[in-house]
Structures are given as structure tokens and as C-alpha cells.
Structure 1
Amino acid sequence: MTRSERVVEPTGRGYLLLDAHPAGCFRSVELMRAEVPVPGRSPARRPVALVIGSSSGYGLASTIAGLVRYGIDGVGIGLERPAGHRSASAGWYRTVATDAIARELGADFSFRNADAFADTTKTETLDLLAERFGGVDHLIYSVAAPRRTDPRRGTTYQSVLKPLGAPHTTRNLEFGDDGAAQVREVTVAPATEAEAAATVGVMGGEDWSRWITALAERGLLRSGFRTVALTYIGSPLTSAIYRGGTIGAAKADLESTARALTERLAAVGGRAFTSVNGALVTQALTAIPGIPLYVSLLRGVLGDRFPSPVAQSLDLWHQLTARRPDVDDSGRIRLDGWELSEPVQAAVAERWRSITPETVTALADTAWFRAQCRALYGFDVPGVDYTVPVETDLPWPQS
């Protein structure tokens, strides 16, 4: 057994685990791939896609769906941690597994471990795209980062998860060391103007716009080019901390950026969208007060009707490649109808009102939520023997 081969255990505190399990991450990607239907025939020309944020969440699901269903070539970007004293990050292992899918399918798809906000990353990525493909058909922007350094101003912005205007009290779902679900009331102070502006600086549309500008300046936007940035609206139950809070202000900026980009892309017959996806269990979500409890209740209402990230990403690709995408009055692709339907929201609201620490496991699918959170790190994934030592020091895929 090598020094980097060991039994990996889910140690950590709260929702944060310190190590990721390689075999569990590989199996997660394998299960995601199994959800994607194989096309009846290969595309006449393989579309070229740039996926920014390809190592986790909807960015990962969109990459897998694009490779398997739509035959994409291109580049995926993620910022992940290599193995050292701890294992590599989960996104590192998921990228290794996704690269194996791309190679098996014969796709010319490269993965870069880099800061998407940096100008050097943009330059090097565009050099690669120009050399291999000569142009890009699609750009999917799926970045969830806690901070961003603007390379031109030298300013580092730090995002916050706070309401605007007044404090907000909500209930949050937590788990004890024994895995038991707990409901705790939390009060979050309102953001200052500077904190709200900084959150927009991280999660708004400025970096997305810079990517499009860089592609245009290099002449890499193919005719009919389309780009989408992923966003979320969510329930009225979470609006004070989400859509009506600092994150919502950033998402509003993202949507205004989409409108401005669409005007600029008219020269190549292109268009920019935001895609309002439904709820998803991510590492970023677990840090937002009230959201874990809400998503657990949503799953309690929907059960297996809760769509997977892959199912929603397939819908996203369908809209992105459709001649006439189905958009709302604000020009947004809407994939959240299943979540925001009146009967579903009424059922979730009823459970939200009546939930107590004693009834939380009956009204909310807390076991599912905890398993989903652990699966983000490669644990609790069906079909994995966690008693077997695994190699943790794996190389990043070669470009």
C-alpha cells in the first residue's frame, strides 16, 4: 500500500468534511452518467462548449449531460485542491472521473484547474480554444465562490449570506455528532451597503461579462453563440435570506447582465440567458440559514419526484440548443416550475409552520438531506465499500 493509499473516513464538523473519498466521487459521477440517455446518432458537428464551474453542482451535471447526450468538445474550468496532508477535494476526484468519460466517448474536452476570475486563466483558456477549435458555441457559467479578486482593480470581494434592511430570524436544520437531526432558530443581522456591494462583486455578472468580452475580442464567438448563467429564485419561505437578501441582489445583477450581453451578441446572432434552476444540495447551500430545512421539507413533500441535477441539466441543454428557447417575460429559462408550483409550495409551507424538533424527521426528509451532503464528499454513495483503502493522490487530467 502506498503512502497516499488509505481508508478515508468522513471526519469533520457540521456540514463540512475534511476529506473526500475518491471511489465515492467516482461512483457519484458514474451514477450521474447513467441518468443521461445516449443519443440515437452523433451530431453532424461536435459543438464546442466552455463550462466555467465544471467540477461540482449544476456545472458538473451540465458537463456530463453535454458530453454524453450532446457530444460536446471544449473546456471545463474548476478550482480544486490537490492531495496533501488531506485528500484532494471532491471536485478534483469528480473531474478525474468526468475526464475518463470524455476520453471513453472520444471527446476533445480538457479540464483546467484554475481561478476563473483571473485574467491569466481567461487568456490561457482562450489560447487553447483558439488552437484546438477556432471558436465556441456555448458558455455555461456556474460559479459559486465565497470570494473573488478582481485582477484589474486588485480588490478582493467577500460575499455574505445576509438579509437586506432588517434582521431575519429563521429555523435551520443541523445534525449532531451522532447524525441526529436538530432544528435551531437563528437570527441573521442585515448586511451593510459595503457587504451587499461586495456580494454582487463576487456573485454578480461582471466576471461572466468579461469572459464574453474576451471571447469576442479574440473572434471566438461562433454564429448563433449562446451563453447561460445559472441562478435561483426559490420559495417565499426563504426569500428574506435569499432572493430578498444579498445573494438575490447579486442574482438580479446577473439577470441585468444577461440582457446587456444579448444586445452585444446580436452581431453574431447570439443570445445570453439566465437559467432559474430548482433547489439542489450543494456545499454553498448548506451555509445559507434556513435553506437546508426548506430543501429537506421540499424533499419530504416530493419524495422521488425531486428532480436530480442531471435531469435539470438535460432540460437546460434542451433549452440552450432549441431554436426558440422557452423563456419567461424577463427572458429567463425557467427550470424551477416543479419546485414553485402552488400545490408544492402550499404543502411545504404547511410543514414549515407546524414543524417542531420532535416532528422534524416525520415532516422533512432529513436522512436524504444528510446523505446528499455527505455524498458531496463521496460518502454514503451506494455501491462503495468504505472499508477498502483507496489511492488519494491522483493526478489532474492532462490537457
Structure 2
Amino acid sequence: MTARVLLPRNRGFLFIDAHPAGCARLVADMWEACPQPVTAPPAGEGPVALVIGSSGGYGLAATLAGLKRAGIRGIAVSFEKGPTARRSATAGWYRTAATAALARETGSDLVFLNGDAFSDAMKDEVADLVERRFGGRLDYLVYSVAAPRRTDPDTGTMYTSVLKPIGAPYRTKTLAFDEDGTPDVHEVVAEAAEGDDIAQTVAVMGGTDWERWIDRLAARGLLADGFTTVALSYIGSPLTAAIYRRGTIGAAKAHLEATARSLHERLAKAIGGRAVTSVNGAAVTQSSTAVPGIALYTGLLRGVLGERLVPPVRQLATLWDQLTGASPLPVDDEGRVRLDTWELSDDVQAAVAERWAVASTGNVMDLADIDWFRAEVRRLYGFSVAGVDYAVPVETDVSWPGLVRA
């Protein structure tokens, strides 16, 4: 047994340990925040879905919303580290264990695999499971992978993504916290991309691996008629465009969208299927906090919107309704589903820009919802979750959910 009291020790926005009970309660809270469906298939008879990148952020929201709104069964893939003698498991490990418990409670046969989604070995393991366990037909694939690097299975080349502007260095405001948790607004400079930075980032975060998944499953004849696949994406505000949409990550997102259009043409012709990207609204995630300026922007956005800020699980509930036909699936001129209109409306962006222009260390508490943002970051790791007694020792040695049913 490894029960111990866990304290929220961190370096910036990264925490050394994660709290199992807090992560479990967070998943339960997300489940409660997801609206009940008007109608749902009987337990065990929902569509077969594959969620790649299921343990955090929008991928976790997609998994939970898919369970509740569409009654999905199938496979969820993520890459997490288990507990050791010195450290807890990653937060995604504990969130996955809690999600698996919910799946069992709802009678859904959802299998959780832990490993490198970029590898062909994982693709083959998933394909074998679809064939053996789920009748050989996959109805949906949700792709939500944010990773710092990717190894090409064909060549063995490792590619590394970078967060850089394209063309020139970029100076932006950013938000940090000192050791006492006091917010600090200051400027940072992001150096411009050079050499093969863009190509490397596109190789990691673009559509290459998504397409490889589709190719691998199609070659095995595992895509059902009408199969639908969606890659989760983000565009964001003009305030962060230079480092995001017009930067190296933006180049990768453009490649992802081009891949969607190509896949859609192929799938529509072959099996009456479709492929889209879903542009989601802003959220506090382990990936987003790494982007310069995003922390300040998100805090200001919450300051403007308050409770009108739409959490990921509610956005993904809408997406599942659209994917399954419970509501229409509108797309923009680029073939993208837009779940970010609440964020990018002219009045909201004007209000955020006004606050951004004058934001400083002295006034940021008045302009942004700093308490909310700071708590959201801590909740990513299972801390600051309501209803959890952090003075009580907690068991950190939580098992990865196994293949419960055959």
C-alpha cells in the first residue's frame, strides 16, 4: 500500500504529483456537467467509437460526452505513466481509471489502452480489438492528440514540435505566478521559427498520423458504412494568433484541416463516410498552458464571460449530437465544425482585447478571473477539487483498467 498525503508541488503550471481522489472527483464533476441525452441507445448497443488521446483535455471530454450522450462503446487510447515508489501516476492515469469505472457503471464495453498512438503496434492492437471484440466495424474515430514529439514508424525519424511564430520574433504579454501564488503579468519574446521547425511541428501535430490511423483501419476492412472521423482543433483569438494560428502550431492545424478535406473525399466515395475537424473553444488544459500568452488570454476571457464560458464536456456533448445525427452538423467554408462561436464573437473579443491592452500585474486581478484560472490549473492534477479532503492520505497505487470483458 502506498497511501500518503499529497501536496500540490509545482514548477510553473506543471505539477510533480497528481491526486487520485481529486482526479476521480474531477471526472465525476465533468460527467455531471454533461447534459443527459433526450434519447440514448440501450446499454451495450451504442455505436463503436475509437478516441485517440482520451485521458485529458478535449479528448477526455470527448470520451465522457460520448459515453453519456451517445452510449459509445469501443476503445480509448492514451499514453500515461503509472505510479512509482517516489511519484504518483500522471493525472491522466487516474482520470482514465475513473472514466473506466463510469463506463462499467453505465454498462458500456469501453477498453482503455495505454501506449504510443503514433506507433503501428498500437494501431494493430486497436484493429485486432475492433475485429475480435466489436464485430469488426468501427463507427466513429475521434482524434485528439497533443504531443511534443513523434517517431515516424516507417523511417524511425523522431520529429519534435515547437511553439514559435513564423517570420519574426513575437513579443507578447503572459501570465505567471510567483511562489506565493501572486499573479505576475510581464512580456516574453518568442524567437521565430528557423530551419525545419515548421516541418517538424507539422510532422508531429498535423494530419499525418490521423490519416495513418484511417489507412490502417481501412486496410483491415474495419470502417463501417457511414463511418465518421473528427480531429479536434483550435483557432483562437487574434490576440494569440501570431504565436498560435499563424505560428508553427497553426501550420500544423492547417495541415490537419487539409487532411480532413482529403479524407472526407476518400471516405465519402468509398463508404459514404465523412471527415471533419472540430474547432473547439478555449479551455485550460495541460497543453494550452504551455503556449505563451494563452494563460493571460484565458483568464481575461473568463473575466468577460464568467459562467457563460462553455466547458469542454458541454462542447463535446454538442459535437456528439451532431456526429450521431441527433442535431444537424453544420460546417464552415473550410469544412470545419465550429464550437468556438461563443468565444470568437465580435463583442466578446472586443471586450477581451480592451482588457488585454491595459492588463498589468497591478490590475490583472480586476480584469481576469485569476482565482478561477489558478484553480483550473490545479484541478488538472486533481488539486483544488471541491469535496476532496487533501489532509487524508490517499492510495496512489491505482491500477490501469484491464480488459474486463471479452
**TM-score normalised by the shorter chain: which range applies?**
over 0.9
In structure 1, the residue matched to 2:334 is: 330
Q: Which residue of 1 aligns with 2:83?
A: 83
Structure 1 residues 355 and 394: alpha-carbon distance in aligned structure 2, compared to 1, 3 A threshold: same
2:35–2:317 Cα contact (<8 Å) kept: no
Q: Once the 2 structures are TM-superposed, how far is the Cα of residue 210 of structure 1 from its aligned partner?
A: 0.4
Contact 2:37 2:69 in 1 (8 A): yes
> Do 2:20 and 2:94's aligned partners in 1 also have CA atoms closer than 8 Å?
yes
Q: Distance in 2 between matches of 1:230 and 1:108?
A: 24
How far did residue 356 of structure 1 move? Answer: 1.7
2:26 to 20, 25, 28: 28
Cα distance in 1 between the residues matched to 2:40 and 2:364: 48
Write the deviation string for residues 285-320 of structure 1: whole angstroms up to 9, x where unpaired. 111111110111000000011111111111111221
Q: What does the per-residue CA deviation read over 1:219-251, in whole Å, with 9 as the maximum and x for residues that have no partner? A: 110011000001111111000000000000000
CA distance in 2, matches of 1:292, 1:42: 37
Match of 2:155 among 150, 153, 156: 153
Q: How does 1:259-338 map to 2 (within 5 A)?
A: 259-266=261-268, 267-322=270-325, 324-338=328-342
Paired residues for 1:173-252 under 5 Å:
173-252=175-254
Q: Please tell me the residue identity of whatever aligns with 2:46.
A: R
Match status 1:394 vs 2:401: no
For the pair 1:363 / 2:364, whether they are aligned, the reply is no
Cα shift at 1:345: 0.2
AA in 2 matched with 1:46: G
Contact 1:157–1:198 (Cα < 8 Å) also in 2? yes
CA positional deviation for 1:378: 0.3
Q: Distance in 2 between matches of 1:144 and 1:394?
A: 24
So what's the TM-score if we normalise by structure 2? 0.96
For 1:128, the aligned partner's letter is L
Tell me the amino acid that sits aligned with residue 80 of structure 1: E
Aligned length: 397
* Aligned equivalent of 1:115: 116
Whole-Å separation in 1 of the counterparts to 2:194 and 2:335: 30
CA distance in 2 between partners of 1:316 and 1:264 (Å): 22
Structure 1: 5+ residue stretches without partners: none
Contact 1:53 1:59 in 2 (8 A): yes
Identity %: 61
**1:36, CA displacement in angstroms?**
2.2
Which amino acid letter does the alignment assign opposite residue 56 of structure 1? G
Q: Match for residue 354 of structure 1?
A: 358
Q: Distance in 2 between matches of 1:271 and 1:221?
A: 11
- TM-score, normalised relative to structure 1: 0.98
Asked whether the equivalents of residues 319 and 333 of structure 1 are also in contact (C-alpha less than 8 Å), the reply is no
Shift of 1:37: 2.9
Q: Residue in 2 aligned with 1:256?
A: 258
Distance 2:334 2:36 in 1: 33
Q: SS of the residue aligned with 2:212?
A: helix
Shift of 1:39: 3.3
1:152 Cα deviation after fit: 0.9
**What is the CA distance between 1:41 and its match in structure 2?**
4.4
String of CA shifts for 1:266-292, please: whole Å, max 9, x gaps.
211000000000001011111111111
Distance apart, 1:193 and its partner CA? 3.7
Tell me, what secondary structure is at the counterpart of 1:302?
helix
* 42 and 354 in structure 1: CA distance in 2 versus 1, 3 angstrom threshold: closer
Question: Residue by residue, what CA displacement relative to the aligned partner does 1:180-238 show, whole Å, maximum 9, x if unpaired?
Answer: 10011100110114011100011000000000001110111001100000111111100
Paired residues of 1:22 and 1:392 also in contact (CA < 8 A): yes
Q: Which aligned runs of 4 or more in structure 1 are off by greater than 2 angstroms?
A: 36-42
**The residue matched to 1:274 in structure 2 has which SS?**
strand
Structure 1 Cα separation of the partners of residues 140 and 195 of structure 2: 35
